[in-house]
Amino acid sequence: MTKRSIKIQSFLKTFYGRGFIVYAATLVALVFIVFAIFAGVITPYDPNEINLAQSLALPDGSHIFGCDLHGRDVFTRILYGARISMLISVFSCVVGAVIGMVLGLIAGYLEGPVGTIIMRYVDLQLAIPPMLFTIIIGMLAGHNMFGLVFALSFGMLPGFIRLMYGLVLSLKHNDYIVALRFAKIPRWKIILKHLLPNAFPTMLVTFTMNLGSTIMLESTLSFLGIGIQQPTASWGSMVSDGYSYIFTRPFLAFVPGICILLLVLSFNILGDSLRDAIDPRLKGKL
């Protein structure tokens, strides 16, 4: 019990080793998560109800970020949009990363014909412009959240596969893996206990970087009419709607834009800290 609490303590010490910025990132992420969960409690308005009397209203006491073209409260839509944006980006990154890791692992560990097939497929997908590819998959998968998640995660597969493939190729020729093979340690144990943990930190950083770009990509797809449909609020679509009024009503684009910025930034910082905290070489340091 004490051993565990010491472990947790040293984990937290490294996690928050960078100081203030990590606390801020935790706070931002927590606030957005609370927003997403309790959106209905926090705000009295309906995110989709059109009220043309309030069209493009300036910020005041009742609408702190003003209203959009259809008179919908921007703050309310930010709260509900947090739900969609976070769900979609986290979901599709998790799906893409897990499938990509598994395929990259198989290709890198087995090499041979199986590996060649997987890697040639990756080349094939990379030969198609990624945006075009995601649009096609999105259209085929249907105009709902799952279709969008599917299209987004499919689109980011090659990156994860390639990264994992390279990592596994370089790791598996390390002397310590070779030594385990001499000692007749079963393959699955080598993979689970040695290959994956050593590949994980690099994958984690890529994962958090992908989170940010996925939010942006989702907004592009929404703008093009694939995936999230009007009037459902997502931060990406709010930016693209609002940017027509960038000079007269700058808050329409800036507020969701800043939200994206903050969320992506805090995800990246938390990802980096997590990577440091699970690295035994940095145990209790920084």
Partner 1 sequence: MEAQKNIILSVKGLKVHFPLTKGITKRQIGYVRAVEDVTFDVERGKTVGIVGESGCGKTTTGKAILRMVNATDGEIYLNGENLLKMTPHEHDKVKRKVQMIFQDPYGSLDPRQKASSIIREILVEDGKHHTSEELDRRTQQLLTMVGLSEEIGERYPHEMSGGQRQRVGIARALACNPDLIICDEPVSALDVSIQAQIINLLTKLQKELGLTYLFIAHDLAVVRHIADTVYVMYLGKFVEKMRSDEMFSSPLHPYTKALLSAIPVVDYHMEKMRKRIELSGEVPSPIHAPTGCPFHPRCPHATEICKEKMPEMEVAFGDHEVACHHYKELMPEQQ
Cβ–Cβ < 8 Å for 253, 193 = no
198 binds partner 1 per the rule CB under 8 A: yes
**Nearer of residues 130 and 166 to partner 1, judged by Cβ:** 166
**Nearer of residues 195 and 215 to partner 1, judged by Cβ:** 195
**Nearer of residues 70 and 283 to partner 1, judged by Cβ:** 283
Cβ–Cβ < 8 Å for 63, 54 = yes
183 binds partner 1 per the rule CB under 8 A: yes
Q: Which of 197, 166, 190 is nearest to 176 (CA)?
A: 190
Task: Collect contacts of 243-246 with beta carbons under 8 A, ≥24 apart.
Answer: 245/56, 245/69
* Total residues interacting with partner 1, rule: CB under 8 A: 18
> Please, what is the minimum distance in Å from the beta carbon of residue 188 to partner 1?
13
174 binds partner 1 per the rule CB under 8 A: yes
116 binds partner 1 per the rule CB under 8 A: no
> Please, what is the minimum distance in Å from the beta carbon of residue 67 to partner 1?
53
Give me the torsion for CA of 157, 158, 161, 166, rounded to 10°. -160
Stretch that binds partner 1, among 143-151, 175-183, 223-231, 252-260 (CB under 8 A): 175-183
What is the number of residues in the chain? 286
Cβ–Cβ < 8 Å for 68, 57 = no
Note the residues at the interface with partner 1 (CB under 8 A).
174-176, 178-180, 182-186, 193-194, 197-198, 280-281, 283
